[in-house]
Each structure stands twice: as structure tokens, then as C-alpha cells.
Structure 1
Amino acid sequence: MKRGLLFLVSLLLSVALAQFPRTVTDDAGRSVTLKKAPQRIVSMLPSATETICSLSEAACKRIVATDQFSNWPEMVKGLPKAGGFINPNPELIVSLKPDLVIISQGRLLEALERAGLTVYVTNPKTYDDIFRTARAYAELLGLRAEAERLVARVQAEVFALETRAAKASERPLVYYEIDPTPYTVGPSSFIGTLISKARGQNIIPAELGPFPRINPELVVQKKPQVMVVTHPEVSAIRNRPGWASVPAVRNNRICAFSGEASDLLSRPGPRVAQGLKLLIECFHPSLK
């Protein structure tokens, strides 16, 4: 019995080792080669942190630092924070001697490559990217089976909520505002897909792209019935020229989200179903 168990462990270990070295292509079109499964990872965007930690607890423990906004799960809160998109700290990253750094921007890439680090660039924008990146991170870590389990679970959660939303009798016109510039979301973005799955109709034309900056007059023209706002300047919306006549403002159908709720809506990662639930409850209060 013991000999059989040792053989099985040895076999599983040899299979895992056989996956490396491997070369993958990142979202910047770069070839990234890993000689072995990385054990010291720096994750510089929250969705990557959450996805890796959702693959397995052991995978999460490989993360040695994150960006300043990664705050889930609980076990990553105490890790060193290497800044954010605007203020990254390459010196701290290099000092931690990671064997893989996951980033979303080019400026940081140059500094890390000069230091000889292995860097993977990721840029999830669409709903399908949530699952594509889960599989991509799992490929980097040698955790393919874990990725398939995660993808299946998240898709099942989304489907259950989508089925619930289908019971709604209306499909309100929706405007979603990321910041007061204003930046919003197009139908092709992952948030745009969630709006559709929650039985809402996004007022933003698809040709403007996934995350466009718009002319505020467009909102006045499109007359959304519901607004979703994920920044703190909600009160100022009523004072914008012409916006008092917008149905969502006039009827006080503005759903303002902050803190963890904003995180759930804005991160293309494994908690996407929880973000979808928030939108369903916003668009269709009777389904709560």
C-alpha cells in the first residue's frame, strides 16, 4: 500500500515537472519562458491576485507581493505593496527576487526586464478574458486542472444569476460611470457584458470601445433609466448641465457603489458573479 502511494506521488510529481520549461505568449505579444513553476510571484493587478488565489490556497501562498489595491482574499492584505498603475515601485519588486511578475503596463516592464526578471503582461478587458486569463495564469503556474475547476464554478454561478435575471419584466436603459471625467463602459467590456446579463441595456454605442471617455451630452440624449456609479462624486451628477432631466436622475434611480462592492464590479476576476448580483438588484429591485 505504502509503495503504491509513493509511486503515485512520484508519478504526479514527474507529470508536474514535465510541464516545464514552457514558453507562453502574453497580452503584449511577448514570448515568456519559464524554466520551472514559479514559486515567488509578484502580482501587480487585483484581478490577477484574486484569480491566482482562487486557483488554490497553495497558489496564493506563492505570491510574495502585490499592487496597493489587491485586498482579497484576506491572506494577501499583509503582503508587501509595490504601488499601483501610476506609482509602481520596481525597486521593491526587484528586492523580493521574484521568479514571475504579472503586470498590466509597459513602463514598469522596461525596469523589470532591465533587472533580468521574468514578466508576464496581462490586459483583461472582456468577459471572456476573465476565463482566458484564469487559464493563462494556471498555465504559468502549472495548474491546468485547477483552472478548469475555477472556470466551471464561476460560469455556473453566473448562469444561475443570469437565469434569475431573465425573470425581470423590463430591460432598463443603463448608464455606468467609472469616474466623473466621465469614463464609462461599452458593450464589449466585461462590465458591459454583465449589464446585458443583468437584463439592462447599455446606452453607450459599441463603436466607442470598451472603456471610452464620453461627451456628457450623450447621456442627456440617451435618457438612461438607471445609473450605476463607482466613484465618490455622486452628488455632483445632478448639477451637470441637462442631467436633471435624465430619467435616472429625476427618478432617483442611481446605484452608487464603493469599497468592496466597487471592487466586485470593476475587477475581471473570479468574483464576477457577485458583481453581477449587485447589478441585478440595482436594475430589478423586485428580484432581491
Structure 2
Amino acid sequence: MKPWHRLLLAACCLLAGAAQAITITDDRGRQLHFDEPPRRIVSLLPSLTESVCELQHCDRIVGVDRYSNWPASIQRLPQVGGGLDPNIEAVVALRPDVVLLSVSSRVSDRLEALGVKVAALEPKSHADVRRVLRVVGDLLAVPHAQGADRVWRVIDAAVQAAAQSLPARARGTRVYFEVSRGPYAAGASSFIGETLVRLGVRNVVPPELGPFPRLNPEFVLRARPDVIMVANRSMQPMVLYPGWQNMAAVKEGRMCEFGPEVSDVVVRPGPRMAEAARIMAGCLAKSFP
């Protein structure tokens, strides 16, 4: 081989290697550098697990938190505990190239001290969901047009279609959405609250209370919502808070209780938000036929 051929080949190899190098910035503002897309991923947040899979790279996930359960193939993977406080030894034993987790997780520093790369990503709004999809796509070296942007177009179109499907009587109604017992509510500034607005209804929990505030049940009584939606992820029958049996929404059957599987769909800010919009629209249509 002639010398200039060797130089050309070396240059091509360098360019190919550089093309695979990846840098992302997580929600802590920290930059993470990878020489190539990570091949072994531990995901400790269900919405991030679902995003990796929706971007067609489920095969790279080698371990998950106990709540990641979709798609079904994920259920065969090792579970390393809760997302906020996983078993550190179990995570490290999986030899991950990166661990995906929420900003509120308590193990980021400990994992990084052990030499494990951590990407903290936590979508709370529609804009966050689109941005996080792009960051995950960048991490996986999936072009935006083929990955994150495609997924977001599906979500956006589904929310718009769900809004158009609502009967006129349902539009403008006042909705209370409970994400978990407490009660913890989906405020107007949350991704659930933004979906409700796009569906053409009003949230009784104002944005100044934050995305997912804990409320006194009396607040809901005083708010007198027209429709109540409750995500009940437990296997136990839902018990009404004191006084709720007197609310018109309860007495007139304008209350939708979502079981564990449906709750997983509606409370996760990820690729299944398209299905979540259809579920919420279905509740509104049933409440105001």
C-alpha cells in the first residue's frame, strides 16, 4: 500500500471514530462524553426505559428499576430496586456504560464515585418530554428525524385528535386529576395538566401550586370539579376521602378510576402520552355523553 493510501485510510478511521463519539448534557447541566453509543444501559425511571425502547434500542437495556414494566420484554430483565434508592451493588454488577435516572434520585453521586456514568433526566412538561426524547436519541446515536421527532409527532397528533373527538358538552369542564394517594394532584403546569388544557378542559389545580402538589382533600371539595380522574396503581379498592361522596362529580358518576396498567400509561411522561390522551378523552366523553 502506498504511503498516501495509508494516510487516507488512517484519516477515514479517525473520522469514523469521531462520528461515533457522543456528548450529551443531562438535566443537572453536566456533560457526559462517550467514545461510542452506550451498549449496556441501566434505566431507573420507567419513562426513560420506555423512551429507549420506543427509539428501537430496548436490546441495550440490561437492568431496570422495579417499576419499569413496558414493553413486556423489559419484565425479563434484572431489577435493581427502586429508582430513587436502587441496590448500588446490583447496578454496578451489570457493568453499565450509563445509568439513566431521575434528577431526584439519591444515588447519582455514589454511582459516579464508583466510576459509573450517570445521566439524570426528568421530564415534567410537554417541552421536557420532547427535549428528553432528543437527548436519549442523541445518546443512542438515533437521528432526530428518525427517532425523537417522529415519536413526538405521533404524540402531538394523538393529543390533537383526542381533543377533536370530545363532545361539545365536555369542553371547558373543570377537571381534578389525582396521580397518587395523599392526595397528590397533577397541577396545570405538569405534562398531565398540559394535556388536559390541549383537550379543551380546565384544571382545578392552579399552576402556582407546582406540577404535582400534595393537597388537602378539602381543597378538592371546595374546588367542586366537574370530572375526577384518579390513577390507582395499587391493587386495593379506592376509598373516597371524607366528604367526597357529597360531590356532584361522584354522585353523578363523573369519576374515572384508572387501574394499575392504565395508570402506568397516564402518569408517565414518555412515548405513551399519545395513548394517555386517548384515555383521558375517553373519560371525559363518558362523563358527558
**TM-score, length of structure 1 as denominator length:** 0.87
Which SS does the other structure have where 2:147 is aligned?
helix
Inter-partner Cα distance in structure 1 for 2:48 and 2:88 = 18
Count of aligned pairs? 272
Which SS does the other structure have where 1:68 is aligned?
coil
Which SS does the other structure have where 1:175 is aligned?
strand
Partner of 2:64: 66
The answer to whether the Cα contact below 8 Å between 1:225 and 1:246 also exists between their aligned partners in 2 is no
The answer to whether the Cα contact below 8 Å between 1:200 and 1:283 also exists between their aligned partners in 2 is no
Q: Which moved more, 1:154-163 or 1:200-209?
A: 154-163
The answer to whether the Cα contact below 8 Å between 2:172 and 2:200 also exists between their aligned partners in 1 is yes
Which SS does the other structure have where 2:95 is aligned?
coil
Query: Is it true that 1:121 corresponds to 2:120 in the alignment?
Result: yes
The answer to whether the Cα contact below 8 Å between 1:234 and 1:256 also exists between their aligned partners in 2 is no
**Relative to 1, partners in 2 of residues 1:187 and 1:286: Cα closer, same or farther, differing over 3 Å?**
closer
Partner of 1:236: 239
**Relative to 1, partners in 2 of residues 1:24 and 1:46: Cα closer, same or farther, differing over 3 Å?**
same
The answer to whether the Cα contact below 8 Å between 1:281 and 1:287 also exists between their aligned partners in 2 is no
Inter-partner Cα distance in structure 2 for 1:54 and 1:39 = 16
Partner of 2:5: none
Which SS does the other structure have where 1:77 is aligned?
helix
TM superposition shift of 1:168: 5.1
Partner of 1:93: 91
Inter-partner Cα distance in structure 2 for 1:270 and 1:86 = 22
Matching residue's letter, 2:41: I
TM superposition shift of 1:70: 1.0
Inter-partner Cα distance in structure 2 for 1:254 and 1:153 = 28
Partner of 1:81: 79
Matching residue's letter, 1:270: P
Which SS does the other structure have where 1:81 is aligned?
coil
**TM-score, length of structure 2 as denominator length:** 0.87
TM superposition shift of 1:287: 8.5
Query: Is it true that 1:23 corresponds to 2:26 in the alignment?
Result: no
Inter-partner Cα distance in structure 1 for 2:194 and 2:16 = 36
Inter-partner Cα distance in structure 2 for 1:180 and 1:287 = 26
Inter-partner Cα distance in structure 2 for 1:78 and 1:266 = 23
Query: Is it true that 1:137 corresponds to 2:140 in the alignment?
Result: no
What's the % identity of the aligned pairs?
Answer: 38
Unpaired stretches in structure 1, ≥5 consecutive residues: 1-12
TM superposition shift of 1:151: 2.2
Inter-partner Cα distance in structure 2 for 1:168 and 1:153 = 27
Partner of 1:254: 255
Counterparts in 2 of 1:187-226, with a 5 A limit? 187-226=188-227
Partner of 1:36: 36
RMSD: 2.2
Inter-partner Cα distance in structure 2 for 1:93 and 1:121 = 15
TM superposition shift of 1:111: 1.7
**Relative to 1, partners in 2 of residues 1:286 and 1:219: Cα closer, same or farther, differing over 3 Å?**
closer
TM superposition shift of 1:159: 2.4
Inter-partner Cα distance in structure 2 for 1:154 and 1:163 = 14
Query: Is it true that 1:107 corresponds to 2:106 in the alignment?
Result: yes
Partner of 2:184: 183
The answer to whether the Cα contact below 8 Å between 2:231 and 2:263 also exists between their aligned partners in 1 is yes
